[in-house]
Amino acid sequence: MPENLLNKFDEIILQRGYSSRSEGVRDAIRSYIVNFEWMSDVQGERVGVITIVYAHSQRGLEDSLTEIQHDFGGLIQSSMHIHLNHDNCLEVVVLRGEGQEVKKAAERMMALKGVKHVKLTTTSLGKEL
């Protein structure tokens, strides 16, 4: 694990008043599981927004991200790229389609090396509300 990642984690658990690192790790794993279960639950026609932060210097990463976006081209409504700083890029992708397909696109992006953060938010189309 990269040292700066662990340092940042220690900083947060200190701020949040955890008694030990392992307590923080347990909580982080729980959040990861809850988030995964929440994502698995996304059903029906949805609009999804995927926010990705990644290191653009990672070899092959931009090609892989483009490839995934072409694979899900039928769902993607729009995307936006921002050069965040010297090392990192932010991409926002808006998709519309079956919730599980939207989720699949986000998961494929998450699994890529060099991707630092992926957030998926989904919303219904408001028809049932």
According to the binding rule CB under 5 A, does residue 83 interact with Ni ion? yes
Looking at the Cβ atoms of 39 and 89, the one nearer to Ni ion is: 89
Kindly give, in sequence order, each residue whose CB lies less than 8 Å from that of residue 15, ignoring residues fewer than 6 positions away. Answer: none
Looking at the Cβ atoms of 16 and 83, the one nearer to Ni ion is: 83
According to the binding rule CB under 5 A, does residue 115 interact with Ni ion? no
Q: How far is the CB of 79 from Ni ion (least distance, A)?
A: 12
- From start to end of the chain, where are the E strands? 45-55, 76-83, 88-98, 115-124
How many CB atoms are closer than 10 A to CB 7? Answer: 10
According to the binding rule CB under 5 A, does residue 117 interact with Ni ion? no
Cα dihedral sign, 123-71-103-53: negative
Per-residue binder mask for Ni ion (CB under 5 A), 39-78, x = binder: ----------------------------------------
The residues that touch Ni ion, with contacts defined as CB under 5 A, are 83, 89
